[in-house]
Amino acid sequence: MSAEATKPLASRLWTFVKPHRAGLALTFLAYLGAAGTEWFIPKLTGYVFGGGFERDAFHLAWIPVVLVGLFTVRGLCSFAGQYLFQWTLTRSVMDFRTALVESLLRLDAQVYTRMQSGAAVTKVVNDPQQILWLLGNVGMAALRDGLPAIVMLVFLFQLNWRLTLIALIVTPLMGWLMRKVNHRVRRVASQAYDAQLDLANRVEDLARAWRVIRQFGAVPVERQRFAEVAQSVRRNSLKTSAASALAQPASQFVASIGISLILVIAVWQIRTTGEGAKAFAEYVTALLLLISKLRHLSDLSQPATQAMVIARGCMELMDAPKEQDQGTLELPGPAKGDIELDAVQLTYPGATTPALDGLSLRFAAGQTTALVGASGAGKSSVIHLLLGFDHPDAGAIRLDGQDIEQLTRASLRRQFAVVSQDIVLFDTSVADNIAYAQVRDEARLEAALKAAHLWDFVQTLPEGLETPIGANGSKLSGGQRQRVAIARALYKDAPIWIFDEATSALDTESERAVQQALEAWQGRKTLIVIAHRLSTIRAADCIHVLGNGRLVESGSHAELLARDGAYAAMVRAQSAEG
Ligand code: ADP
């Protein structure tokens, strides 16, 4: 855990507000100004009634001037107060969100497999706003009621300090009780927050998987599942409210004990010393006022607790393990592309059997190497390791003779262009998807589009290259999405090309694009093809057959057929299907 992670929640939240604290101070001054005008109103009324009805007391024009002036000042102050408060809030929220997204962008690969995207959206989009808004309001209310409470306390001390000290004895008791209640509020509020996240995830699923839901006639099932989660959210928020509603009667109960105690003593004092009833009335009025202020302050504990519960969730995201980037070396330029796995061992957390079990194999520079094997054999895990998303538990992976653990992740990943079977596109234009995170070059774009058999299609689009393709490319067909992904890899022009062939057959257009790309690169780049359809890799220089995380056999298509082992059996099985 980082040093940051061990700091108390409140001080971590303060780090986002601190740079904008001037705004907070000005907000305070503005509200003070607005409150100050209140003081003039009774004063002025008093002045008018005091002598203002006499002829020539003052020019009548002063009435609108003073009144309008006063309300203008008040209006300006309260506008400034609200504006400055929002100014501080929006800036702090933005910083908070930026820090959360920064963390999201650097999470360890393992965290993503556990995390639901709905939770990430809630934690970055809604939570920072809600936390700081809640706390901001608590702070303002604390000022509004806290300042008069302090004044009242001073007043009480000066009236009768002995009695006031006795009154204060009740305070620790009240504090203890509040802590008990707050503890319960925090616990149930935590459950309520988790239930809320579940709800967000369910709804996200509903929006994302709408096709599957309709196809499977699963609307009643989903409705039922949603109802369960919604029910749990309802139950938990009711529990939270009940727990915090308990706080008020409990504190009033304790306060009533204190008040009776004080009254007994005060009345007794008056009876014995014969002090005036006036002092008594003054004292009790001030005391009741103080208690009512304190009661308002105790009402603030619920939103404050609520904010802390939500903050805890955000901090979990902020503290989730980051990707380790311990490498320090940078490859000077494009790699030759010679890759060697040396007795690589990999067991995923929680798995009982290793995904890769002492795997040694080579992807020779400038050659095409295919990885085949049954599903679960470990093909994707090899790619996962090559790209530095995980680290071998034992053994080493070398690129051009250099252990990849010693390379910076950025330098390592620059060497690879990947077309994976799960296609990830962004909600931007065709051009931005292809020249993704790279300098845009029209000639290179055209070449990539032509090589991916997309050029003619793009010409028919209303805005050509600038046409938006929808969330994850929803406005494109399956084949077009695949070809955009291919064009993106072509555009990157890395020395090593990984092609994770889709299990489902590609459309003919995409298949031709793939074949031509493979042919064009063959001999010039290091090509790694994860093949499901063995027909595509006949021409590969070398085929590695994996089984249960181990290398079963290697060789060219002809060699492996001659050997009549696992590969030959797979070929026979596929041609029988075909
Ligand atoms: P292939 O790509 O050949 O189908 P994988 O490399 O995806 O095989 O998987 C190898 C083994 O590792 C499988 O048994 C799979 O269940 C397991 N595995 C893959 N990814 C994870 C993960 N993130 N967590 C736990 N186990 C995993």
In the predicted structure, residue 396 carries a pLDDT above the cut 70: yes
* 403 φψ region: left (φ > 0), alpha (ψ -120 to 50), beta (else): beta
How is the chain split into domains, by residue range? 3-319, 339-577
Q: Cα(245) to centroid of ligand 1, in Å?
A: 50
Instruction: Using pLDDT thresholds of 50, 70 and 90, give the confidence band for residue 380.
Output: very high
Distance 388 CA to ligand 1 centre (A): 16
- Which of 463, 455, 456, 414 shows the shortest CA–CA distance to 434? 455
Separation of 37 CA from ligand 1 center, angstroms?
70
> With a 6 A CB cut-off, is 375 part of the ligand 1 pocket?
yes
Question: Region 18-44: what's the mean pLDDT?
Answer: 86
Whether residue 118 contacts residue 197, with contact meaning beta carbons closer than 8 Å, is answered with: yes
Q: What is the pLDDT of residues 109-159, one digit of tens each?
A: 888 888 877 788 889 999 999 999 999 989 888 877 887 788 888 888 888
- Nearest CA among 354, 395, 411, 402 for reference residue 378: 354
- The pLDDT, as a whole number, for residue 3 is 59
Q: What is the 3-state secondary structure (H, E, C) of 290-315?
A: HHHHHHHHHHCHHHHHHHHHHHHHHH
Q: Count Cβ atoms below 10 Å from residue 300 Cβ, excluding itself.
A: 19
Select from 348, 353, 361, 570 the residue to mutate for testing ligand 1; criterion: most ligand atoms less than 8 Å from CB: 348
Sheet holding 402-403, edge to edge: 356-363, 339-346, 394-399, 402-403
- The pLDDT score that the predictor gives to residue 412 is 94
Mind listing the pLDDT tens digit for each residue in 245-286? Answer: 887 787 778 778 777 877 888 788 778 877 667 777 777 788
Among residues 550, 293, 534, 511, the alpha carbon closest in space to that of 419 is found at: 511
User: What is the per-residue pLDDT across 197-237, written as a single tens digit (0 to 9) for each?
Assistant: 888 888 888 888 888 888 888 889 899 999 999 999 999 98
- Global confidence as pTM: 0.78
Q: Are strands 339-346 and 356-363 parallel, antiparallel or unpaired?
A: antiparallel
- In percent, the amount of the chain with pLDDT more than 90 equals 44
Q: Which atom of ligand 1 is nearest to the CA of 109?
A: 23
CB of 113 sitting under 6 A from ligand 1: yes
Tell me: domain 339-577, CATH 3.40.710.10, correct?
no
pLDDT at 578 (0 to 100): 64
- How much of the chain, in percent, has pLDDT values that exceed 70? 97
- Report the C-alpha gap between 526 and 369 in whole angstroms: 8
Contact, 492 vs 444, CB < 8 A? no
CA dihedral of 418, 423, 429, 431, whole degrees rounded to 10: 20
User: 3 — phi, psi (to 5°)?
Assistant: -60, -35
pLDDT at 505 over 70: no
Instruction: Report the mean per-residue pLDDT for the chain.
Output: 87
User: What pLDDT, on a 0 to 100 scale, did the predictor assign at position 520?
Assistant: 76
Residue 504 or residue 290, greater confidence: 290
Between 377 and 262, the more confident residue is: 377
| Minimum CA distance residue for ligand 1 atom 15 | 376
Instruction: Give 554's contacts (C-beta < 8 A, 6+ positions apart).
Output: 361, 542, 543, 544, 545, 560
The third-level CATH classification (topology) of the domain covering 3-319 is ABC transporter transmembrane region fold (1.20.1560)
Averaged pLDDT for residues 385-392: 94
355 CA from centroid of ligand 1 (Å): 6
State pLDDT tens for residues 546-571: 999 999 999 999 999 999 999 999 99
Q: For residue 550, how far is its CA from the centre of ligand 1 (angstroms)?
A: 13
Length of the chain (residues): 578
Instruction: Compute, in angstroms, the gap from residue 437 CA to the centroid of ligand 1.
Output: 29
**Residue 380: CB within 6 Å of ligand 1?**
yes
Nearest to 344 by CA among 387, 395, 402, 380: 395
Contact at 8 Å (CB) between 415 and 496? yes
- Residue 500, helix vs strand vs coil: strand
Q: Structure tokens of 57?
A: 């007391």
Using pLDDT thresholds of 50, 70 and 90, give the confidence band for residue 302.
confident
Taking CA atoms only, the protein residue closest to ligand 1 atom 21 is 348
Predicted confidence band of residue 5 (pLDDT cuts 50, 70, 90): low
Q: Whose CA is nearest to atom 24 of ligand 1?
A: 348
Give the C-alpha separation, 479 to 485, whole Å.
Answer: 10
Ligand 1: distance of its center to the CA of 378 in Å?
A: 6
Domains 3-319 and 339-577 are alike in CATH topology: no
Strands (DSSP E) found in 380-440: 394-399, 402-403, 416-419
Residue 347 C-alpha to ligand 1 middle, in angstroms?
Answer: 9
At 502 the pLDDT is 61
Question: Does the CB atom of residue 386 touch ligand 1 within 6 A?
Answer: no
Of the pLDDT bands very low, low, confident and very high (cuts 50, 70, 90), residue 430 is very high
Of residues 44 and 353, more confidence is placed in 353
Report how far residue 487's alpha carbon sits from residue 494's, in angstroms, rounded to the nearest whole number. Answer: 13
414-425 per-position pLDDT tens digit: 999 998 888 888
382 has pLDDT over 70: yes
What single-letter DSSP state applies at residue 100? H
pLDDT of 145 reads: 81
* Residue nearest to ligand 1 atom 17, measured at CA: 355
Ligand 1 pocket, residue 381 CB under 6 Å = yes
Residue 1 predicted with pLDDT over 70: no
> Which pLDDT score, from 0 to 100, does residue 6 have?
66
Residue 346 Cα to ligand 1 middle (Å):
10
What pLDDT score does 408 carry? Answer: 93
